Amino acid sequence: MDFCSLIRIFAIVMAQKLHHIIISLASNFNQEANLEAARTALTQLLTEAHFTSAKWTKPFGVIEHGTLNIDHSLEATPFESKLSSLDQCSMFNVQCSMFNGQCSMYLNQLCQGTTAFGPNLLSEVLKETEKRQGRTHNEDGIVTLDLDLLQYDDQRFHHRDWERSYVKDLINEL
């Protein structure tokens, strides 16, 4: 039995109430494989996990104080998603992380489910899941996996994310 399964069993046994949650998933490196691994982990961790379709978005970086801050709110049209990542960066004059000469697109998805965890414990488990997938928080721009708790029952987190068009679009699938 793996780590996530043990935590899920413990939480269900100890729980008196299940909480409704929404989690955002994102990756800009080995995107499809990393989101698949995240879906597997979340399915083991959550009760009744449901996933939206995945949506590609363009990265957008702003250099502030010598640091590249990635904002992946710009979205790719179906035509643009067929272009190479490097072509997209050139075509749209997008500042972004470069990996082996390529600008990386983000693949985004939402997950809705229930959990017995409190919001702090759930966030810790999500960060541990990111680490197990190779996430580091150095400044190379590689985001193997980003899992953010967007909503816990009626409480919303990551308020800027709720304004992003991909969240607005995908939330309708839940």
Percent of the chain with pLDDT over 70: 67
Do 49 and 111 form a contact (C-beta atoms < 8 A)?
yes
> What's the whole-number average pLDDT of the chain?
78
Q: Where are the domains of the chain?
A: 3-171
Band (141; pLDDT cuts 50, 70, 90):
confident
Tell me the pLDDT tens digit for each residue of 151-160.
999 999 999 9
pTM (two decimals):
0.71
Tell me the CATH number of domain 3-171, given options 3.40.50, 3.30.700, 4.10.280, 3.30.70.
Answer: 3.30.70
Task: Work out the number of other CB atoms within 10 angstroms of the CB of residue 76.
Answer: 18
Nearest to 99 by CA among 82, 83, 86: 86
pLDDT for residue 62: 37
112: left (phi over 0), alpha (psi -120 to 50) or beta: beta
For residue 131, give Cα distances in angstroms to 34, 82, 102: 12, 30, 24
